[in-house]
Structure 1
Amino acid sequence: MVPGEGWEAAVRAEVGAAGWWDDPDSADLRARFKAFTGQRRDWPHPTLLFWKDLLLRVARRLRRCSAPAHLVTSAWFARPGGLTPLCLPQVLEEMRADGDILLKSELIDPSAGSLYQLVRRVSQMAISSRRPVSQEDILVFKSLVEERAADIARQLSDSHWTSTCVVTISRFNSFFCNQEDAHAALCILTQSGKARYLVARKQDPIEGVKLALNSAQVPAVSKLDHDTLHLVWTEERLQQQLDVLDRRWEISRRRALASFKSGDKQGAYRYVRQSKVFSQSRNRCTQLLERVEEVISLIAIAESTKKVYEAMQIGIQAMKENNVSIEEVNVHLKEVDELVAAQREVDAALESVPLHSIDDEGDIEEEFRKLETELQDEIPHIQVQEPMSHSNEESPDEVVESLSNNLSGIKLEAI
């Protein structure tokens, strides 16, 4: 596809059937294409919003997360006769001020050394004024990067049930239309804490990315992540080798059949032996691939089990600090459940009393007797006892208060 045709088709699809777009002499086109003059408050707000929205929609349709500034200002929206929107440079500056656009030259490369990253951050903090967008800059659309990251997380969640996922850099790049978009997205995601760059080994390094599959920040890279990356890289290599062996095996089978039909028995025999060799290699490769996949699955299970164990340890430690045992917690919870159930039954019985039929004191006493009979029939385990006058017995309010204090002292974290 010719690049110009792709942009033209995308712009045409997003602009729609607007007649002014194809008429260079229309007042609407000239009003939208002319430069903004005066102060920021004097700019036509609808026109500014129009170009902001159109620019993002065209980039989204092209599946681009970044684009050269000169293409955006001079090629994407160019009309016959060399007419281009003169307001686009100002629109880009406004989008940059709002954080919708970032310059690739200002992003921090996560694959660089830690000292270099620190120097870049300090230098960016020290610079008070920003230079304007030039035609040589690469524009990165932050909202589109975030959309693509969310889409990647959804795709990976289908095959990973953990909160994070380690993928090779080639797998990460495959989610984007080109490597420039992938690198810009990696810079933004690592800077926002949604991804971490890692290298598995020093000699013949294996690059990878640790991604968050939920809204939480990505934890620090561990030794287990490096081992997982090495296994994932091995899995991809074995899968590629298996695909090659499958194709060669299929080709050998077809050539053997063609040679046999043509009467070339020697050639057919040679291709049959070749296909057997490919078949044996394929079986060995399949066994290795299954073993690697099993190890990766075991690592994921172990990681999840570790998190559950850590959460349980925190809960046990909290109970020890408050001198509370599991049995005591269960007893208190059971008592609370019984009190709640009894209260609900009492409320239901009170609601069933026809208050409009109570006219005098005799009717009230009669209704109370009926209520007492109903409660004794429905809740036989609740026995009414005579009030005790022992001085050492706690009142119901004191029992409830003690129970509440014991339960509120327990600090458990959700597993």
Structure 2
Amino acid sequence: MGDEVEVKQLLNFIREQVPDWDDEVKATARYKAFSGQRSDWESLFVFWRDLIITIVRRFNILLLSPSLMKNSWFNRGGLTPLCLDHVLLEMYNNGDLLRLSDFEDPTTGRLSRLMKIIHFPIAFKSPTSSDILNDRLILLTMLEDRATYVVKALSETNWTSSCIITMKHFESLFKEHDEAFAVLSYLSRHGKALYLSIKSKEPIMGVKVSLSSASVSSFPSIDSVILQLMWTLEELQQQISVIDKQYKRFRISALVALRSGDKTLALRNARQLKLASESRDKLTAYSDRVEETVRVISDAQSAKKVYEAIQLGAQVIKENKMEVEEVQLCLQELDEFMVSQETIYNALESKSYAAVEDEDIEEELKKLELQIRNENILVNAPITMEDTKENVRASATPDDLCAAIADLKLESEIEDHSIQGSHSGSGSRKDCATLEAA
């Protein structure tokens, strides 16, 4: 929110929310420092608190900078609110705001956090207004909303009750590192996320997030394997993206070479196109195998949970001294209920078909007959020379390009000089057409 355009939009929004914002008399009263009893400045505190919350929610701001708020948001020609530090401190004491420095580091263990409290107790004293102004602040409701959004976004791409992603993937869901840190700390504190790491030549960091109402579970050996696979999958996808860019660059270079008549360079780029295509196919095959492995592991975990649920059910039956016959009777009643429901559904379905008028059926048949007739006309239509050229272009490959250039070079050596000049331009155009289809 430090951008000049965004600040201008924010100021316009403030004027919409506070119509008398530019009134000098009221502005002077609003910008003065708090004094006296709480009842004397309570209404002014509520005004600034509600205004800050409204702005934060409207512009979807997670991290707040007190200095930016004071010197940019609420700066009126050099006049800044003297009460802002008191307002922010009150919001912090009331639990509306949190300091970024108060968040526990989710990458460290509980023991290290406990040792930090023992060795540095002074760091956990109540903050002053100066401490608030020199820190970054987070509105609690915005933090809760952002955590909910992250879980929802991950749920849309994962069907399991939890998922494991790399730290790079997790941070890509946020604007900056501190936002990801705050949300991960919040989720970890509430048992909804777990930080993972693998020590190797290149340390791999990741996050396991619960996508259900249950707390996240920990299976160190399996979690590490999945994290390693997810990291490998991201690396493969990144390499595929690089090859795609190289393929486009080689293709453009080959087109330029053909149009300039440099057949040697065009042939070299055509070979690079073929190598890039083969490399991409191999990486895609590896990527598919990794995805399949992750899926198999996830299925195995789900099967284990089903098995545990069956064991739990058997234990409950035993503890409650339930007879097997009672359980079978309940299952039989459930089957009868399902059969009756299916009978009702079939009856309703057959009744809906009987309610269709004959005229409606005839109208649908006419539409279908007309559609089939139109498709037959298109199929039986004669193929023109332009259609043939388009088909040739669509089916061309880098191998076809190499063959076309080789044939062109052979023809240019046989024909005489004058004919060679007229045919070389035509050959280049054919090569270009073949390459454009690559």
TM-score tier after normalising by the smaller chain length: 0.7 to 0.9
Would you say 1:111 and 2:107 are equivalent positions?
A: yes
Cα displacement (A) at 1:248: 0.8
- 1:401 aligned residue: none
Q: Residue 271 of structure 2 is aligned with which of 264, 269, 273?
A: 273
Query: Are 2:86 and 2:129, in contact at CA under 8 Å, matched by a contact in 1?
Result: no
- 2:196 aligned residue: 198
Cα displacement (A) at 1:161: 1.5
CA distance 1:70–1:204, shift in 2 (3 Å): same
Greater CA deviation, 115-124 or 228-237?
115-124
What amino acid does structure 2 have at the position aligned with 1:243? S
- 1:64 aligned residue: 61
Q: What's the TM-score once normalised by structure 1's chain length?
A: 0.73
Deviation track 1:222-251 (CA, whole Å, cap 9, x = no partner) reads 321121111111111111111111111111
Q: Residue 79 of structure 1 is aligned with which of 53, 76, 80?
A: 76
Query: Are 1:256 and 1:272, in contact at CA under 8 Å, matched by a contact in 2?
Result: yes
- 2:9 aligned residue: 9
- 2:38 aligned residue: 40
Q: Per the alignment, in what secondary structure is the counterpart of residue 126 of structure 2?
A: coil
Deviation track 1:272-297 (CA, whole Å, cap 9, x = no partner) reads 01111111110011111111111122
Q: Report the Cα distance in structure 2 between the residues aligned to 1:104 and 1:315, rounded to whole angstroms.
A: 45
Greater CA deviation, 251-260 or 126-135?
126-135
Root-mean-square deviation (CA, aligned residues, Å) is: 2.7
Deviation track 1:274-325 (CA, whole Å, cap 9, x = no partner) reads 1111111100111111111111222222222221211111001222334434
- 1:100 aligned residue: 96
What fraction of aligned residue pairs are identical, expressed as a percent? Answer: 40
Q: Report the Cα distance in structure 1 between the residues aligned to 2:11 and 2:300, rounded to whole angstroms.
A: 50
Q: What's the TM-score once normalised by structure 2's chain length?
A: 0.69
Q: Report the Cα distance in structure 2 between the residues aligned to 1:235 and 1:278, rounded to whole angstroms.
A: 19
What amino acid does structure 1 have at the position aligned with 2:56? A
Q: Report the Cα distance in structure 2 between the residues aligned to 1:336 and 1:221, rounded to whole angstroms.
A: 36
CA distance 1:87–1:225, shift in 2 (3 Å): same
Query: Are 2:196 and 2:208, in contact at CA under 8 Å, matched by a contact in 1?
Result: yes
Q: Report the Cα distance in structure 2 between the residues aligned to 1:123 and 1:192, rounded to whole angstroms.
A: 25
What amino acid does structure 1 have at the position aligned with 2:218? A
Q: Which has the higher helix share?
A: 2
What amino acid does structure 1 have at the position aligned with 2:12? R
What amino acid does structure 2 have at the position aligned with 1:252? F
Alignment of structure 1 residues 14-413 onto 2, 5 Å: 14-16=14-16, 18-23=18-23, 25-27=24-26, 29-45=27-43, 47-80=44-77, 82-121=78-117, 129-134=125-130, 135-220=133-218, 222-331=220-329
CA distance 1:18–1:97, shift in 2 (3 Å): closer
Cα displacement (A) at 1:119: 2.1
CA distance 1:274–1:204, shift in 2 (3 Å): same
Q: Per the alignment, in what secondary structure is the counterpart of residue 73 of structure 2?
A: coil
Query: Are 1:4 and 1:75, in contact at CA under 8 Å, matched by a contact in 2?
Result: no
Q: Per the alignment, in what secondary structure is the counterpart of residue 86 of structure 1?
A: coil
Cα displacement (A) at 1:69: 2.5
Greater CA deviation, 258-267 or 32-41?
32-41
Q: Report the Cα distance in structure 1 between the residues aligned to 2:91 and 2:296, rounded to whole angstroms.
A: 46
What amino acid does structure 2 have at the position aligned with 1:58? I
Gaps of 5+ in 1: 339-415
CA distance 1:125–1:310, shift in 2 (3 Å): farther
Deviation track 1:83-110 (CA, whole Å, cap 9, x = no partner) reads 1122211111111112221222222212
Q: Report the Cα distance in structure 1 between the residues aligned to 2:181 and 2:188, rounded to whole angstroms.
A: 11
Cα displacement (A) at 1:334: 6.0
CA distance 1:177–1:72, shift in 2 (3 Å): same
The alignment covers a number of residue pairs equal to: 334
